[in-house]
Amino acid sequence: MITPVADPTMMDGDDARASLLPETDPRRRGPGGGGQKQPSSSTVLPAVVSAALLLVLAAVAILASQHADDGQGGVAAAGRVVEVAASRGAAEGVSEKSTAPLLGAGGALRDYAWTNAMLAWQRTAFHFQPPKNWMNDPNGPLYHKGWYHLFYQWNPDSAVWGNITWGHAVSRDLVHWLHLPLAMVPDHWYDANGVWSGSATRLPDGRIVMLYTGSTTESVQVQNLAEPADPSDPLLRRWVKSAANPILVPPPGIGLKDFRDPTTAWRVPNDTAWRVAIGSKDRSHAGLALVYRTADFVRYDPAPALMRVVPGTGMWECVDFYPVAAGAGGVENGLETSVPPGPGVKHVVKASLDDDKRDYYAIGTYDAGADAWTPEDAANDVGIGLLYDYGKFYASKTFYDPVLRRRVLWGWVGETDSERAAILKGWASVQSIPRTVRPPGHEDRQQPAPVARGGGGEPPDERQELRRRGAGPRLHRAPRRRQGDTAGHRGRVRGGRGGRGGRDGGRRGVQLQHQRRRGGAGPARPVRSARARRRRPLGADRRLLLPGQGHRRQPQDLLLPRRAQGIKGERSGEESLRKLGPRAARGEPVSKNSG
């Protein structure tokens, strides 16, 4: 533990500049002149004052030692603390995971003396984050049997980087999430120092393979393979690591700590082999991407191809490679990763640069025969040109959504809070709101990707395709507001809560409902009360509902399979799945009395 030290710039200097006590000040003379003898108390008071000062200094030292928190030293002084910067991740062979060295000067970070009450409001509503502790890179996103899956780098023990495992969560709409048990943990020699970033690939036969980087007991970066234990499980709750691990080790000329983050695999026409790209750098500090070929994801060609080398860019982390439509046809849709190169198809290469912690991308042409990629504009090559985002956005990863035919982009948003603040609030980092990547030709190449309730967020032809297939996320459709409800709502808005205009407007809305429901004969059915009508905002069936809007069962409707929504009462997604059992998670029919 680093002993905290007081910040000299925060010390109060008023006492130091104050004059001496009257009894000991030589400038204060008695009426008898300069030779008058001082009272005897002049020899006692300085000793008392010195003893008091020593006691105060001792108390300050005790308080300072009690103020140290989890290795982060600091002394509170006028609402400030001084925190000693600690580097995390760089020594283990990954990018720096602590913001303190970036923000502090000379290794010291000046931070406000936050409390839990002050930090509680920082939890987000729409950005994904785990319930607690540290999180960084998004890993292996995919869509499987009606659920969007997100894996992520997570420390289950603390709000700072370390002990990296794979957290796992699923969603129907990329907004409401159900947190599941850990997918993978560092429990073998080939990933004992961390289960690091990786990507998912869906094979034509329906299998899902997950390639990821492991840090061995000797901190060597190797590539490993894992598959779901039960591919028929929509939630993919259990994963099994291959007995052949590690399947790839650093090749000659590549550093033992410079070989990580495999991409989603792809294939090319007239070749059954899969390709996988891995980020690295050479001895001259040139960033590069290596391409390996494999037929079974266990055995690989020993000599990789160089997809691209850019001098001076340093280590390429979290490389991503995917096609985009460049022609007029199908520009609104994303492309599956194995779409072959050709007219109207370009390929994007993205790299997260360890040197400056930013995500660079470039658009170019892929040569499938040589597994080489050439940018359209050499001045905007990877690492020296275009950025995904100009804020805190790093280690991004895309995946292809086969239902809505789009490419979705995730990115890690590392905050600039100090480690002391992160420990106080109990969590660190969020994921960006997922974005839809749009091909060249659009002014805005990224758009928010969450699925809107009521089908308002996707083009009409895609909604029709969803209905025709009967596939995709089954989102509960909010009831449309009837004409009378709208009239009453507008009347209340114009007249206020207690005004005559509001009462008249509400009455007119009720009359319209009675006329429509009566149909010329028979008594009118009961009409919802004004309070019930006020619960739903106008036009809420055509947009994504915010927290607190709409009916109370909205989160449950989105988190459970539709056949499992017949249960009564308000339950969280986890509680409902636990009570209904595995049959509900698989989407099988479940009785209302189940559980």
Looking at 7, 14, 25, 137, which residue is catalytic?
137
What is the C-alpha separation between 96 and 423, in angstroms, rounded? 18
Residue 175 DSSP code: S
At position 517, the amino acid (one-letter code) is R
Tokens for 362?
């470039």
Contact 350, 319 (CB under 8 A): yes
DSSP 564-595: GTT--S---HHHHHHHH-HHHHTT----TT--
Cis peptide, bond prior to residue 246, ω within 30 of zero: yes
Question: In angstroms, how far is the first alpha carbon of the chain from the final one?
Answer: 50
C-alpha 220: how far from its chain's center? 27
DSSP 404-471: TTEEEEEEEE-----HHHHHHHTEE-EEPPPEEE--TT-S--EEE-PPPGGGTTS-HHHHHHHHHHT-
Catalytic: 70? no
Contact 576, 556 (CB under 8 A): yes
Nearest to 152 by CA among 161, 234, 144: 161
Q: Count the alpha carbons within 13 Å of 485 in the hemisphere toward its beta carbon.
A: 17
Contact 556, 573 (CB under 8 A): yes
What is the C-alpha separation between 408 and 248, in angstroms, rounded? 28
H or E stretch at 46: helix 45-67
What is the C-alpha separation between 560 and 172, in angstroms, rounded? 9
Distances (CA, A) of 1 to 5, 72, 87: 12, 8, 14
Compute how many other C-beta atoms are within 10 angstroms of the C-beta atom of residue 410.
Answer: 23
**What are the start-end ranges of the H helices in 477-543?**
483-495, 500-518, 530-534
Distances (CA, A) of 403 to 44, 276, 497: 87, 24, 45
Q: Which residues pair with 177 in a beta bridge?
A: 171
What is the SS3 assignment for 182? Answer: strand
Q: Which are the catalytic amino acids? A: 137
